[in-house]
Amino acid sequence: MLGAIIGDIVGSVYEWKNVRTKDFGPLFHPEAFYTDDTVCTVAVADALVNDRHPGEALKDWGRRYWENGGWGGMFAQWLISDSLEPYNSFGNGAAMRVSPAGLLAASEEDAITLAHRVTEVTHNHPEGLKGAAATALAIYLARTGQPAAFIRLAVTERFGYDLDRTPDDIRPTYVFNETCQQTVPEALICALVASDYEDAIRNAISIGGDSDTVAAIAGGVAEALFGIPEAIGRKGWDYLPDDMRAVLQALYRKGGMRVGGGFF
């Protein structure tokens, strides 16, 4: 989960100012910040750790950090409403916030079940559910030691995504897109062809598009594949307020993992 959050932070300054190179400045831009992607990811973790209704947790955290901004239009309307009914979204928010499900899952089917549970409260369109489930499954498989080639094949066979590409193939023509259909496959590729965690994040930023969300999705998978280097983990941790840190710590404890590889 911290891997997804760091992806969001790194990508925050590039969402509207895409860079089509992996060789962009320092990993953490001086103006980087956590966005709504992080807030929603923490909310999902809170729901799973504390057995809360996912919709109530999303509304709680979203309203608590309302001034952070960046909310999608339909999600913002849902967030401030009194309704807990979903609105048939297939936006990529389904996948960017789902990493806690992949971290806590006890099996492949459990990863998908948990992903559906935390997604269907808003993104109940089949493509929204698919994007979240594919991301959670990739994280679960990586966390349990499966190599990138196996994950690529498993996700392709189950969900039909075209993962037989590289960031170099994607980069020249990729444009900003907020759907699961045209965000999740690209983000998964960025993680699955990477050599390490930082390489995955740089891949994600380099293809352009919805940079913070692409990097959040890729970052969650890359954390499970490679772990997070200590210096990067500490830097990402420093951006977060205490209430978010507490949820991360509870999530990793519940999953039997050490926060950030054990350096917090």
Asked if residue 127 belongs to a domain, the reply is yes
Those residues with Cβ within 8 angstroms of residue 243's Cβ, 6 or more apart along the chain or in another chain: 64
Cβ pair 37, 210 in contact under 8 A: no
Residue range 60-88, pLDDT digits in tens:
999 999 998 889 899 999 999 999 999 99
Q: How far is CA 248 from CA 21, 28, 93, 210, in A?
A: 31, 20, 19, 24
Averaged over 255-260, what is the pLDDT?
A: 72
pLDDT tens sequence across 81-111: 999 999 999 999 999 999 999 999 999 999 9
Q: What is the pLDDT of residues 153-181, one digit of tens each?
A: 999 999 999 999 999 999 999 999 999 99
Q: Compute the distance between CA of residue 164 and CA of residue 169 in angstroms, rounded to an integer.
A: 10
Instruction: Report if residue 168 sits inside a domain.
Output: yes
What is the Cα–Cα distance from 130 to 136, expressed in whole angstroms? 10
The whole-number average pLDDT for the span 235-249 is 97
CA torsion, ordered 160, 163, 169, 171, to nearest 10 deg: 90
pLDDT for position 2: 97
Q: Would you state the pLDDT for residue 249?
A: 96
- Please tell me the predicted confidence (pLDDT) of residue 70: 87
Arithmetic mean of pLDDT over the chain:
96
264 within some domain: no
8 A C-beta contact, residue 141 and residue 159:
no
**Percent of the chain at pLDDT above 90?**
95
Specify if 61 maps to a domain: yes
pLDDT at 69: 81
Take residue 52 and report the two structure tokens written for it: 């809360």
Structure tokens at 226: 């490679």
Residues 9-44 have pLDDT tens digits of: 999 999 999 999 999 999 999 999 999 999 999 999
pTM of the model: 0.97
For 132-141, how does the pLDDT look when each residue is reduced to its tens digit (9 = 90+)? 999 999 999 9
The total domain count for the chain is 1
Identify whether the C-beta of residue 203 lies closer than 8 Å to the C-beta of residue 22.
Answer: yes
Residue range of the domain that includes 130:
2-259
At 256 the pLDDT is 87
Domain at 130, CATH number: 1.10.4080.10
Q: Where are the alpha helices (DSSP H) in the chain?
A: 2-11, 36-49, 54-64, 73-80, 93-96, 99-104, 108-119, 126-143, 148-159, 167-170, 184-192, 197-206, 211-226, 230-238, 242-254
Q: How many CA atoms lie within 13 A of 150 on its CB side?
A: 11
Cβ-proximal residues to 231 (8 Å cutoff; 6+ apart), any chain: none
Q: Is residue 149 part of a domain?
A: yes
Evaluate whether residue 129 is within a structural domain. yes
